[in-house]
């Protein structure tokens, strides 16, 4: 299926062949950037990068991707600078912006908000994160990172640790990895467990799932995906104070488990990975963040019908 004009809203919408095609184009983009630095694939395109929630890596990597493809970005980097502050609906905002650009990248706090915009416009929409819903581009760059670090996506044991209830990155990653025959270890406090529909959905797909509160169980995996306890998702400060710091991965813990485990994190970290882990060869989280540019270049080029062949 052609990606031209297609929305990228959730990893549930992508099958195994889609994912492999995206990763193949991502590798080509990485190689091209290393030789040419800036391409001209989208030199006649304008891309809206609309971020109504705080972001560093996702926003900057999307803007970098736009520039490296030769396109021009128009940027909203703060909800306070948009008409959302005046009560404008997402659909109306989308209809307005679609008249200016060839593609819309959107991050906003409403679960399913990216689909609201996609349903209202006729240009491709890429979801840069929708509240506690999904974050498909993060999951895809995570797959690209795992593929580079482990040499395969097939049959891996992957542990996800921390805030699995509100963590849109782990929701998306679960669905994205499912076609590759993984085994999942979901490690979280009872209050922050992976939502039951995702757990049951994985089991219905034949994916073995272990739920635990013990990080020692997670350290036996091939890949450990740490997440922060997200203060901004809590309605009660007391609950956040009680749960923050539930898991802290340090060098001693890593060395007590599977020493070849690939350590990932969508960033930003707070205190859930100690700085003494950073120098380990298998600490991949900064490489992971850098891979976001190539992945987002691939998606932008694909939906605009201009991918490298």
CA distances from 252 to 188, 279, 286 (A): 20, 13, 20
Task: Tell me, yes or no, if 80 is annotated catalytic.
Answer: no
CA distances from 136 to 86, 129, 143, 176 (A): 29, 7, 11, 8
Task: Tell me, yes or no, if 86 is annotated catalytic.
Answer: yes
The helix/strand/coil state of 241 is helix
Q: How far apart are CA 247 and CA 195, in angstroms?
A: 19
Task: Tell me, yes or no, if 10 is annotated catalytic.
Answer: no
Q: How far apart are CA 52 and CA 78, in angstroms?
A: 5
> Is 225 within 8 Å of 158 (Cβ atoms)?
yes
Task: Tell me, yes or no, if 96 is annotated catalytic.
Answer: no
Q: How far apart are CA 200 and CA 178, in angstroms?
A: 12
Q: How far apart are CA 223 and CA 227, in angstroms?
A: 13
Q: How far apart are CA 213 and CA 63, in angstroms?
A: 38
Instruction: Give start and end residues of each alpha helix (H) in 178-223.
Output: 196-204, 215-218
DSSP label of 142: H
Q: Which of 57, 67, 148, 233 is catalytic?
A: 57
Q: Which of 35, 37, 86, 235 is catalytic?
A: 86
Residue 82, Ramachandran bin (φ over 0: left; ψ between -120 and 50: alpha; else beta)? beta
Instruction: Give start and end residues of each alpha helix (H) in 37-135.
Output: 57-68, 90-98, 113-120
Q: How far apart are CA 30 and CA 36, in angstroms?
A: 10
Q: Which of 45, 135, 171, 296 is catalytic?
A: 135
Q: How far apart are CA 284 and CA 137, in angstroms?
A: 17
| Tokens of residue 258, six digits | 């599977």
Q: Which of 10, 11, 26, 58 is catalytic?
A: 58
Task: Tell me, yes or no, if 4 is annotated catalytic.
Answer: no
Catalytic residues: 57-58, 86, 107, 135
């Amino acid at each position: 299926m052609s990606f031209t004009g297609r929305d990228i809203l959730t990893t549930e919408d992508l099958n195994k062949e889609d994912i492999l095609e995206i990763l193949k184009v991502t590798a080509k983009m990485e190689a091209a950037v290393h030789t040419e630095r800036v391409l001209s694939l989208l030199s006649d395109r304008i891309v809206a990068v609309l971020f109504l929630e705080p972001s560093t890596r996702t926003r900057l990597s999307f803007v970098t991707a736009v520039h490296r493809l030769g396109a021009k970005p128009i940027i909203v980097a703060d909800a306070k600078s948009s008409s959302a502050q005046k009560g404008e609906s997402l659909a109306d905002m989308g209809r307005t912006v679609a008249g200016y650009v060839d593609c819309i990248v959107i991050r906003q706090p409403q679960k399913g908000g990216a689909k609201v915009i996609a349903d209202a416009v006729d240009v491709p929409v890429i979801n840069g994160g929708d509240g506690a819903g999904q974050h498909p581009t993060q999951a895809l760059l995570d797959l690209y990172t795992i593929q580079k670090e482990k040499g395969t996506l097939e049959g891996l044991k992957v542990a996800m640790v921390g805030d699995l209830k509100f963590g849109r990155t782990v929701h998306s990653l679960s669905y994205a990895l499912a076609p590759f025959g993984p085994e999942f270890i979901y490690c979280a406090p009872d209050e922050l467990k992976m939502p039951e529909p995702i757990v049951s959905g994985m089991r219905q797909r034949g994916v073995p799932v272990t739920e635990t509160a013990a990080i020692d169980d997670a350290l036996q995996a091939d890949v450990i995906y740490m997440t922060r306890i997200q203060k901004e998702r809590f309605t009660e400060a007391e609950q956040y104070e009680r749960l923050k710091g539930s898991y802290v991965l340090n060098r001693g813990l890593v060395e007590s488990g599977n020493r070849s485990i690939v350590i990932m994190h969508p960033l930003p970290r707070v205190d859930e990975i100690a700085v003494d882990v950073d120098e380990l060869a298998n600490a991949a989280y900064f490489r992971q963040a850098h891979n976001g540019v190539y992945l987002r270049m691939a998606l932008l080029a694909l939906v605009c019908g201009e991918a490298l062949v």
